[in-house]
């Protein structure tokens, strides 16, 4: 009897191909910072759950897997997720587990993918791909900008000093 050890991955892939896009609704609980000091238990205790009656779930959005990766290695195996990748204006909490992850995740990514892992397209914000003149050197992974100049002053349409 042949068993598919990758049944879950195969099932997910096949359903996305058929148009059965799995989705999850994303909720968060938000506690005002001033409440944390006087709450009935340590709000950073990972063995406790904040009662929904005190801090109801708030819908953030919906995550839908609507396409399969074209290149599994480039789009999945090289992905580097980190709780330190925050939207400007959002700050991490004092949670000890989170604080440890803020340090260890990027360190693990550097070990696993190389020191320029943030240049790998799956980990690089779209806008940053055209706003950087970082190039050459060890572990360059972004195509190295071809023969474009990366010095200033230049006469070849390269970067100009922004005073």
Regarding whether 115 and 96 lie in a shared domain, the answer is yes
Query: 3-class SS at 35?
Result: helix
Regarding whether 75 and 148 lie in a shared domain, the answer is yes
pLDDT in tens, 112-155: 998 888 888 888 876 665 555 666 666 677 666 777 777 888 88
Regarding whether 87 and 61 lie in a shared domain, the answer is no
Regarding whether 136 and 81 lie in a shared domain, the answer is yes
| Spacing of C-alpha 110 from chain mean position | 14
Domain that holds residue 60: 21-67
Q: How much is the pTM?
A: 0.65
pLDDT in tens, 15-65: 999 999 999 999 999 999 899 999 999 999 989 999 999 999 999 999 999
Detail the DSSP E strand segments found in the chain: 23-28, 58-64
On whether the CB atoms of residues 80 and 123 are closer than 8 A, the answer is: yes
Residues 45 and 47: their CA atoms lie apart, in Å, by 5
Regarding whether 92 and 48 lie in a shared domain, the answer is no
In angstroms, what CA-CA distances link 31 with 35, 92, 95, 96?
7, 13, 13, 17
């Amino acid at each position: 009897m042949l068993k598919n050890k990758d049944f879950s991955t195969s099932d997910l892939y096949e359903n996305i191909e058929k148009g059965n896009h799995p989705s999850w609704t994303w909720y968060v609980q938000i506690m005002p910072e001033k409440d944390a000091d006087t709450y009935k238990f340590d709000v950073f205790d990972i063995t406790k759950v904040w009662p929904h009656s005190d801090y109801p779930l708030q819908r953030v959005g919906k995550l839908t897997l609507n396409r399969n990766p074209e290149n599994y290695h480039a789009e999945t195996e090289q992905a580097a997720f980190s709780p330190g990748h925050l939207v400007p204006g959002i700050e991490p909490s004092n949670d000890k587990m989170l604080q440890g992850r803020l340090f260890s995740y990027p360190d693990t990514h550097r070990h696993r993918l190389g020191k320029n892992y943030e240049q790998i397209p799956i980990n690089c914000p779209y806008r940053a791909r055209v706003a950087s003149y970082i190039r050459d050197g060890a572990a360059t992974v972004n195509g190295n900008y071809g023969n474009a100049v990366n010095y200033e002053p230049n006469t070849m349409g390269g970067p100009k000093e922004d005073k």
